Amino acid sequence: MKIRLKLASLVLLLFVLTNCIKENECCCSQDYTVLGLKFRYETNKSIHQQTEFPPNAMLAVFIFDDKGTFVSQINDSLNQVNDDYTMKLPFKQGSYQFIAWTGYDETCYQLSACIPQQTDIHDFFLSLKREKDNQTINQPSLLYHGIHDIVKIREGKENIVWIDLKQITNHIQVIVHNLNDKKKHIIYIEDNNGKYDSFLQYADDEKITYLPTYSNPSNTTSSLIADFTVMKLDKNREPRLKISDDTGVIRYDENLIGKLLQKKPYIDFDYNHDFTIEISFNDYIPVSIKINGWEIINESV
């Protein structure tokens, strides 16, 4: 860990020194100060640090100046980002802003290429990787986003900047009962929520088809259990939960968010990320729907 952090600091130091040389500044190193980046997770409307920190594969921090121009990127491979973790970096005095992606996995996600002194913060995006026909076969990794507004780095003392991390991935388990056991079925979720800008706003994107992992891979019984990891959910959007049979006929098509909000309109997708949806059918007509134990539909057959 210490070796990686020293290497990250050295890379940034060399970058800043290079800028000093380009700007023909004498004794530029005298303008350096230490910046410490620390991170905490948003778990409810009161921002606080968790007692248990989620495991993450990669921390990627992108540094922009006060005008929104890209300065540098620092990556660190980690087991956890917790209270004890501080990313200490040498910085030239000035004003900076920060974008962080925690849990970033290059097999799942793609970031825009950033060119120092050229790329603008409004042209920086994260996209979910997908297969042909915009299908996601591999489940996206647990992902957090953080941003900090412009902060002035002052000389002569260690500056600590806290970046609040917000989870944007969601786990959805769908359990269905009483399907036609003479047919195979596919469960999938459709949404166009696979691309985000620096400020975690939805960017224009094509519709994605999320495919699950099944507890019974043969998909031949009348019951199925399907596990999904999907990107950010929002009450103003309409992701679709669909079930089709092996002939391609869509047997079930429902607004996922609408069903959640129908019973629990005060649900907050910024802080609720785990949902279990259980549906019982009678000839493909839902007669019982439960979401996290909430009874949405309960009709006698």
Which pLDDT band, with edges at 50, 70 and 90, does 259 fall under? confident
Question: What mean pLDDT is predicted for residues 45-58?
Answer: 59
Q: What is the pLDDT of residues 208-217, one digit of tens each?
A: 999 999 987 5
- Return all residues near 87 (Cβ < 8 A) that are at least 6 apart: 5, 8, 36, 37, 38, 59, 61, 74, 76
CA count, 13 A, side-chain hemisphere, 296: 24
Q: What is the per-residue pLDDT for 100?
A: 96
The segment(s) of the chain belonging to CATH 2.60.40.2090 are 170-298
Region 216-226: what's the mean pLDDT?
Answer: 75
How many CB atoms neighbour CB 12 within 10 A? 21
Start-end of CATH 2.60.40.2100 domains in the chain: 2-105+141-167
- pLDDT of 260 reads 78
Query: Which tens digits make up the pLDDT trace of 154-196?
Result: 776 678 999 999 999 999 999 999 999 888 899 999 999 999 9
Closest-CA residue to 56 (of 135, 194, 169): 169
Q: Closest Cα to residue 11, out of 68, 61, 69?
A: 61
> Tokens representing 45?
């409307």
Answer for the pair 59, 75: CB distance below 8 angstroms, yes or no.
yes
Model confidence, pTM: 0.84
Distance of CA 287 to the CA centre of its chain: 34
Has domain 2-105+141-167 been given CATH number 2.60.40.2100?
A: yes
- CATH 2.60.40.2090 is held by the domain 170-298: yes
